[in-house]
Amino acid sequence: MTVDDTLVDVLAGHRRAGRGDRPALVDQRRSVTYTELEREVTARIRELRSTGVGPGTRTAVVLTSSLDSVVDFAAATSLGAAVLVLQERAGETERSAALADFGAELGIDPMGVTRLRSPRPSGGDPAFAVTSSGTGGRPKVISREWSGTLHNSATFARGLGIDADDVVLTTSPLGHSYAIEAGTLAVLSAGACQIVPSGPLTPARAAALAERHRPTVLQTVPLILDWWGRGGVPHAGWWKRCVSAGEALPAQAVTAWRDAGIPVYDHYGNSELGQLTLHPAGGGGSVGHPLPGVKLKAGGDEPGPVVACFPGLSPVRMEDGHPVPLADAEGWVATGDLGVLDDDGLRLTGRSDLVINIGGNKVSPLEVETVLRALPGVNDCAVVGRPGPSGETQVWAFVEAGADEFDAAALRRRAGELLMTVKVPSVIRRVDQLPRTGSGKIRRGLLIEDGA
């Protein structure tokens, strides 16, 4: 693979290498080999070119759980367009805002191609753009170079050891950057096969799918890893390894998989630069060492801002159709996270924009959540800072727990035994479910604004 490769080049390369008859993608309706996928993408390239998609055309593609949308994405990027990936489940307000910020000229969804605004002067650079998860509020549109994006995904595939014999089950929606980059782009770069399920799978459905398609790699988030682990999925199929990303990986989410002899990797990435670290011993606190080519800086003895860079990537935030650079003159990008980098790798301690200031004392929500999750009856939790009765900032905890076993006072007492007084939540509120994005991340902004 070279820096100028498109996806159709990647597919053709696998065909020429004798891997054309290997499966490339599987959805709920059909599967395609590398030769078949190359043929479909090539045909779609001709169709999209006739609608005005070309080099630098700002094109939004809605990615669904069908192979057809992957073909649309591969064709648009192969034409050298600047492509914004949109999630199928995004609300109309969020989608409209993303289209406006990106300055999208064309939109592609299952209904066809739609002209959104007058064409800009042609000849722009190929680009790959995604919306951030929106965990703290309105999602942002992040755009970066296509060649660096594909290179980053291929680097991740090599780090995880994905090869042409692997079958990768990706549980996050394809419109999420984790699923399309660490999933589809990484899988196709390695000549492996990706399974795209239709929506969330219960453990029973996941086990049946594993028996039928024999996936070897599970790519997911902590919530599903834990759910499927308790549901017996590790004992179904032919799993070789799992990788988890998106949020901190609790130790209990790893237990069932390790007991079944299946390694669990922890992974850290972001919307600005893609895939950054990998840890072959997930659940231990560290998210691992930087992938080859990735440079990281963070705190030493004390948590500090995490900044990163990757060759060939200079991300920008799109606002009203205009790029706002995110990298400094040397290519370093602030991730918004706090962490410590030492011989054991990177240990994240929270988000810099979510640290709670209690009378000058800095409280990390991640630290408080780690303590609360280990307490009896707590299925999951999220900690945020919210104004108290007199306007002072308080620590609030929202806990997923059964109504019969929830005792806020008991949780506060136990938390007081394990945490400094300033870190003990002033309010602990039970919720049936925490608000989450389509990929499973907690939407803390909603908790801060509305209190669930």
Task: Give residue-wise pLDDT tens across range 112-129.
Answer: 999 999 888 766 789 999
CA angle 277, 383, 304 (to 5 degrees): 45
The pLDDT value recorded for residue 106 is 97
Percent of the chain having pLDDT more than 90? 66
Long-range contact set of residues 323-326: C-beta below 8 Å, sequence gap at least 24: 323/143, 326/142, 326/272
Q: Are 241 and 434 in contact (CB under 8 A)?
A: no
pTM of full prediction above 0.85: no
Sheet containing 333-342, strands listed edge to edge, beginning at the edge strand earlier in sequence: 295-297, 304-309, 333-342, 345-351
Over 90: is that where the pLDDT of 393 sits?
no
With CA atoms as reference, report the closest residue to 236 among 216, 252, 251: 216
Please report which confidence band the pLDDT of residue 51 belongs to, taking 50, 70 and 90 as the band edges.
very high
User: Picking from 66-70, 78-82, 123-127, which range would have the lowest pLDDT averaged per residue?
Assistant: 123-127
Using one digit for the tens of pLDDT, what is the confidence trace for 301-349?
888 899 999 999 999 999 999 999 999 999 999 998 888 999 889 988 8
Domain ranges of the chain: 7-349, 356-450
Summary mean pLDDT of the chain? 90
The pLDDT value recorded for residue 359 is 67
- Strand (E) positions, 225-344? 241-244, 264-270, 274-279, 289-290, 295-297, 304-309, 316-319, 322-325, 333-342
Please report which confidence band the pLDDT of residue 452 belongs to, taking 50, 70 and 90 as the band edges.
very low
Q: Are 148 and 311 in contact (CB under 8 A)?
A: yes
Please report which confidence band the pLDDT of residue 90 belongs to, taking 50, 70 and 90 as the band edges.
confident
With CA atoms as reference, report the closest residue to 293 among 142, 149, 188, 131: 149
Residue environment code for 61-80, b if the CB has 16+ CB neighbours within 10 A, otherwise e:
bbbbbbbebbbbbbbbbbbb
Q: List the structure tokens of 425.
A: 């939540």
290 strand-pairing partners: 277
- Mean pLDDT, rounded, for 37-46: 98
The pLDDT value recorded for residue 451 is 47
Over 50: is that where the pLDDT of 261 sits?
yes
Strands 193-195 and 167-170: parallel
The pLDDT value recorded for residue 244 is 93
Over 90: is that where the pLDDT of 34 sits?
yes
Domains 7-349 and 356-450 share a fold: no
The pLDDT value recorded for residue 3 is 56
- For domain 356-450, give its CATH number from 3.40.109.10, 3.40.1170.10, 3.30.420.40, 3.30.300.30: 3.30.300.30
Q: Which residues contact 292 (CB under 8 A, 6 or more apart)?
A: 155, 158, 159
The residue among 354 and 50 whose pLDDT is bigger is 50
- Mean pLDDT, rounded, for 427-441: 84
- Mean pLDDT, rounded, for 203-231: 94
- Mean pLDDT, rounded, for 22-39: 96
With CA atoms as reference, report the closest residue to 97 among 112, 86, 83: 86
Over 90: is that where the pLDDT of 105 sits?
yes
The pLDDT value recorded for residue 38 is 98
- Mean pLDDT, rounded, for 429-445: 82
Sheet containing 217-220, strands listed edge to edge, beginning at the edge strand earlier in sequence: 31-33, 23-26, 193-195, 167-170, 217-220, 241-244, 264-270, 274-279, 289-290
Strands 274-279 and 289-290: antiparallel
Q: Are 224 and 247 in contact (CB under 8 A)?
A: no
- What is the Cα–Cα distance from 330 to 324, expressed in whole angstroms? 16
- What is the Cα–Cα distance from 429 to 88, expressed in whole angstroms? 31
- What is the Cα–Cα distance from 170 to 193, expressed in whole angstroms? 11
The pLDDT value recorded for residue 450 is 57
C-alpha 107 chain-centroid distance = 23
Q: List the structure tokens of 52.
A: 């005005």
Q: Are 181 and 291 in contact (CB under 8 A)?
A: no
CATH of region 7-349: 3.40.50.12780
* Angle between helix 67-78 and helix 7-14 axes, rounded to 10 deg: 110
- Mean pLDDT, rounded, for 234-259: 90
Query: Among all chains, which residue has been given the structure tokens 């900690």?
Result: 383
Percent of the chain having pLDDT more than 70? 94
- Mean pLDDT, rounded, for 47-74: 95
Please report which confidence band the pLDDT of residue 108 belongs to, taking 50, 70 and 90 as the band edges.
very high
| 421 burial level (CB within 10 Å; 0-12, 13-18, 19+) | exposed
29: enclosing H helix or E strand: none
Using one digit for the tens of pLDDT, what is the confidence trace for 336-359?
888 899 988 998 887 776 778 786
With CA atoms as reference, report the closest residue to 84 among 104, 114, 54, 111: 104
Q: List the structure tokens of 446.
A: 């909603």
- Mean pLDDT, rounded, for 34-44: 98
Strands 82-87 and 393-400: unpaired
Please report which confidence band the pLDDT of residue 360 belongs to, taking 50, 70 and 90 as the band edges.
low
The pLDDT value recorded for residue 436 is 83
With CA atoms as reference, report the closest residue to 10 among 190, 180, 178: 190
